[in-house]
Structures are given as C-alpha cells and as structure tokens.
Amino acid sequence: MTSFTVDFNSVIDLTDEQFYQLCQKNRDLKFERSATGELIIMAPTGGETGNRNAGLTAQLWIWNQQQKLGQVFDSSTGFKLPNGANRSPDVAWVQQARWDALTPEQKAGFIPLCPDFVIELVSPSDRLTTVQEKMQEYRENGVQLGWLIDRKSQQVEIYRPNHDVEILKSPVSLAGEGILPGFVLSLDSVW
C-alpha cells in the first residue's frame, strides 16, 4: 500500500475538470494533486487504518450533529486548496457559513476551499515527513486547527496558524479549542 507521485507536467497539464474525471473513473484509487501539478496516487487504506479513520470521523460527526456549526467530510472528499493543490484529509470540517457560501456546483465537485479543521492519521504506508508537509500546506492555506495523529509513536502534532507545531505524547483526548467549541476527541480507540 504505497503511494506514488507522478509528474506529468511536461506531457499534460490536467485541468480541474480533467482531474475530477480521472478520479471519478478510477474510484478504487485515491488521487491527490500537489500545488505544482504532480499527481499522487494512493491505494486504499488497510483495515485497521480505515476502521480508526471511521471512528475519528464518527466522533466529529456526532458532535457536529448536536452543535450544527458546520459540515463534516470523510477521507474520500476532495478539496481544492487556494494554492492549487487537491487534497483529501482523513477527516475535515468546514464552518457552516463558508459551506453555505458555495454554489451547488461547487458543493458537488471538489470543494474549492481549505477546511477549517483537519485530521490526518498516519498509516503504515505513509512517510511521516510527507504527512507533516501536507499539514503545513493545510496551515498555509487557511486551516484553523489540524491534528496529525501518529499511532506508531502515540504522538499528536497540533497545527495552528501563526504558532509552532505543538507535540503531545500519548494524549487521552484532544479538545477542539475555539474552532470546535465543546468537541473532545477520545483517542482510546485510536491507540
């Protein structure tokens, strides 16, 4: 379950619509695209990672159903970041006002904004430095809070605008701070 990065830039410059169609025609694969146009091809996650991703998404979704402050998205959702990259965080959340400002067409395709909140769960096939670079990219493109969860080291990296990355060792839970008021993510089932 390795990811591959392919640079087609010297051969073809995929439009947003062509990239979207490529993803639709190859649903067994997960694609992302870097800000420079490199195509990143990833195999589906394994059972343990998929199960834990579902648990993370479920916790956020339940909180959001009660609070009704935004929209929750799973790892199959594509976001078109302001820098031009197409990314699919493991878990994402967008404030309701930002979601409501989108047209029906924008909601139906890859969402043309950076989420307000993201979670990335490091899977066995991920290189930690690659996922850390992705978290930095989210922060540079407008994410207000990001959690990078590394099961192997039982460590969480917290990304916030204009702050150094905060590292927590074996936390039991994480608080959603001001962006997700009252949300507490339990990590018992993750570790």
pLDDT values of the chain reduced to their tens digit, one per residue, 191 residues: 466 677 766 677 788 888 888 888 888 788 888 898 888 888 778 888 889 999 999 999 999 999 999 999 999 899 999 999 999 999 999 999 999 999 999 999 999 999 999 999 998 878 899 999 999 999 999 999 999 999 999 999 999 999 999 999 999 999 999 999 999 999 998 99
The model's pTM is 0.89
List the alpha helices (DSSP H) in the chain: 16-25, 47-67, 96-100, 104-108, 128-140
What 8-state DSSP symbol labels residue 37? Answer: -
Q: Are 41 and 178 in contact (CB under 8 A)?
A: no
